[in-house]
Amino acid sequence: MSDRILPLTKSLISIPSTCDNKKALNDVLNLALKEVGDFTIERFEKEGYPSALVYPQKERPKKFKVILNAHLDVVSGKDEQFKPYEKDGMLFGRGAFDMKGAAAILILVFKEVAKKLSYPIALQLVTDEEIGGFCGTKYQIEKGVKADFVLAGEPTDFGINNKAKGIIWAKIKTKGKSAHGAYPWMGKNALWLAKKILDKIEKEYPIPKKEAWQTTFNLAKIETPNQTFNKVPDEATISFDIRYIPEELFFKTYRQKKSKTYHHEMLKQVDHDKIIVNNRNFLIKKIKKIVGNLGKVEVLLFEPPQFTDEKSFYVLKLKKAVKKVLQKNPKIIVKHGGSDIRHFNQVGGKGVTFGPIGRNLHADNEWVDIKSLEKYFQILFEFLRKL
């Protein structure tokens, strides 16, 4: 099976499967399914984004024990990035690290072990993760796909990612009073009102000077319909990309107690549905309180955080498999960006992201370490056999 790793990965990379190229998305999915071979294949499609669920049984089980999740879409790249090449033990190309290298391994290990396992397992192939996963993973869940545990092959350098931040996209609109720019005292400048809001948010949620596990507000846009210099703007909009940590559920306690163990124990005691509801209510109320009467808050997107207990059965089994193959304990890591695991978390499923070694995802010179792909296969093979 190892002789298929590089040819398959290169073939996947060669297809420019960006989310705006529906033909390429279908082509890359068909290529993956052709490699999988003789299994039951359920096809799904929403808004032109194809996906598939593959399993050994003739009919879909009510619930899978494990789902291997792979996204086959990539972010845009230069034409030459879709021409994979090897150099110094690395495979270069768009999606090599995120995540066509891992996708190839998930396909191959599933193909190798799925029919030999005593428990129900599935391979989930989607084509819209880079734009949120709403038409792939989430849509399949809406159609009844369930699992106890999901492993997504996102880039982690063999770290096990069990926590990721949730996402809120919000707009805050301020209203003022227009006037001639020469007579600003006769108006009320909506941009200055926006600045007051920004000052308050920066005080409550300062930007960390280095990587930190805390809630962050990224100021994405400042807009006004004002088209001229000599007018006091009477309307302004500021837009935020907010990434919040699961611990925000216990915000007061979180601020008072800095113990990571304490937060971990608290998170274990509640179900994820409560985390979602309480996070939403608490954070939105908090944002509105910060803004006060200076503006109006509009929430455009609310996505829950990812959380799976690092001491859970599946994570412990994965850690054991990693240690056996790599001869060292894996790191448990957190992620600031989201993944499709969050969609399973919303319906009570657990999961982690776990992938091979590489660099430069979404950038020039993206690569994946070739030997790490072989190790990745061995780890997943060991993990699935020992469940």
Q: What does the pLDDT read at residue 259?
A: 47
Q: What does the pLDDT read at residue 281?
A: 73
Residue 254 and residue 361 in one domain: no
In what helix (H) or strand (E) does residue 66 lie, and over which residues does it extend? strand 64-71
3-state secondary structure of 335: strand
Q: What does the pLDDT read at residue 284?
A: 87
Instruction: Name the nearest CA neighbour of 18 among 113, 130, 121.
Output: 130
Give how many domains the chain has, as a whole number. 2
CB within 8 Å of 355: residues ≥ 6 apart: 97, 99, 101, 102, 153, 154, 155, 156, 157, 158, 376
- Which of 303, 318, 341 terminates a domain? The answer is 303
Residue 114 and residue 150 in one domain: yes
Residue 32 and residue 83 in one domain: yes
Residue 138 and residue 185 in one domain: no
The CATH number for 204's domain is: 3.30.70.360
Structural domain of residue 259, as residue ranges? Answer: 166-303
Residue 275 and residue 191 in one domain: yes
Residue 145 and residue 174 in one domain: no
- Which of 285, 303, 321 terminates a domain? The answer is 303
Residue 152 and residue 259 in one domain: no
Cα-Cα end-to-end distance for the chain: 22
Report mean pLDDT in 10-residue bins for the chain, 387 residues: 90 98 99 98 99 98 99 97 98 98 99 98 98 97 98 98 94 98 98 98 95 95 97 98 81 46 48 52 87 97 90 98 98 94 92 98 96 98 98
Q: What does the pLDDT read at residue 1?
A: 61
The CATH number for 150's domain is: 3.40.630.10
Instruction: Name the nearest CA neighbour of 163 among 361, 312, 356.
Output: 312
Residue 182 and residue 124 in one domain: no
- Which of 272, 303, 334 terminates a domain? The answer is 303
Are the C-beta atoms of 347 and 273 separated by less than 8 Å? no
Residue 186 and residue 330 in one domain: no
The β-bridge relationship of strands 85-87 and 296-303 is: unpaired
Are the C-beta atoms of 9 and 70 separated by less than 8 Å? no
Residue 183 and residue 145 in one domain: no
Residue 277 and residue 183 in one domain: yes
Residue 142 and residue 60 in one domain: yes
